[in-house]
Amino acid sequence: MRPGQQRLAETLLPELRFALPESGLLDPARLFGAPMQAVWLEIGFGGGEHLAAQAGCHPEIGFLGCEVFENGVARLVSAVARNGIGNVRIFADDARLLLAALPDRSIARIFILFPDPWPKARHHKRRLVAPATLDQLARIMTDGAELRLATDDPDYLAWILETVTAHPEFASTAPQAADWRERPPDWPATRYEEKARAAGRSPAFLTFVRRVRT
C-alpha cells in the first residue's frame, strides 16, 4: 500500500467499514446516512474501480463492497475520497459471513466480476460460484434482481453456465454465446478485464435474473 493510500485508509476507512451484528441479521439500508432506493452488492471488488464507477453513477443506490485484500480496499477508499462518493460501505472479510447475515430480499443487484477460477480440479470446491453460494444469493436477492458475472477463464465460464443455469431460482438473460462477449454500456470496465484483453483472453459478461418467487 502506498503511504498516501495508507493515510487515507486510516482516516476514511473507519467511516466506510462496517461489522456484522453480534446477533440477528444486518439491515443494510441502515448503513447509509440517507434513505436509498435499493442496495447493490459487489463480492470481491478487487481494485474497486467498477464499484466506485457504479456508485458515482447511481447516488440513489447504496453499495456494499466485499473484499479481503488490503490493497484493494485502499484503492476503493481512495476513489471514494477523490470523487466525493457517499453511498459506499465496505465489508473487509469473508463474503460468506456477510451473505449469511443479510436478510431475505434485501439486495437488488449482485456483481461477481473475475473471481479466482481455481483452475485445478482439486480446488474447484473453492470456487465462489457454487450451488451453496447461489442458494444464499437467491435468498437475499429481491425478485427480478440481477446477478452479474464476468470471467476470462474458459473452464470457469463453462462451470458458471452449468452451475447457474441448473439452479432453479435463476434465469439467463442472454442464452446465445455472442451475447456474452460484449460488456453492456452500464457495466464499467475493470483492471482485470484490461489485463485479460492485453493477454489475448476474451472476457465473458453474463447476467442472470432472480426468478419471481411463487
Q: What is the pLDDT along the chain (214 residues), one digit of tens a residue?
A: 566 656 666 788 999 999 999 999 999 999 998 999 999 999 999 999 999 999 999 999 999 999 999 999 999 999 999 999 999 999 999 999 999 999 999 999 999 999 998 788 887 888 999 999 999 999 999 999 999 999 999 999 999 999 999 999 999 887 666 778 888 889 998 988 999 999 999 899 999 999 999 8
Instruction: Give the length of the chain.
Output: 214
At residue 2, the pLDDT reads 62
φ/ψ of 174, rounded to 5, equals: -140, 85
Instruction: Select the CATH number that applies to the domain covering 3-18+26-210 from these four: 3.40.50.150, 2.30.110.10, 3.30.1490.20, 1.10.1740.110.
Output: 3.40.50.150
Handedness of CA 141, 59, 16, 36 (dihedral sign): negative
User: What pLDDT, on a 0 to 100 scale, did the predictor assign at position 177?
Assistant: 66
pLDDT confidence of residue 120 = 87
Backbone angles phi, psi at 208, to 5 degrees: -120, 155
Nearest to 172 by CA among 183, 181, 161: 161
What pLDDT is attached to residue 117? 86
- Residue 197 CB neighbours (<10 A): 13
Q: Please tell me the predicted confidence (pLDDT) of residue 57.
A: 96
pLDDT reported for residue 122: 87
- Asked whether the CA dihedral 9, 10, 11, 16 is positive or negative, the reply is positive
| Model confidence, pTM | 0.93
Catalytic residues: 116
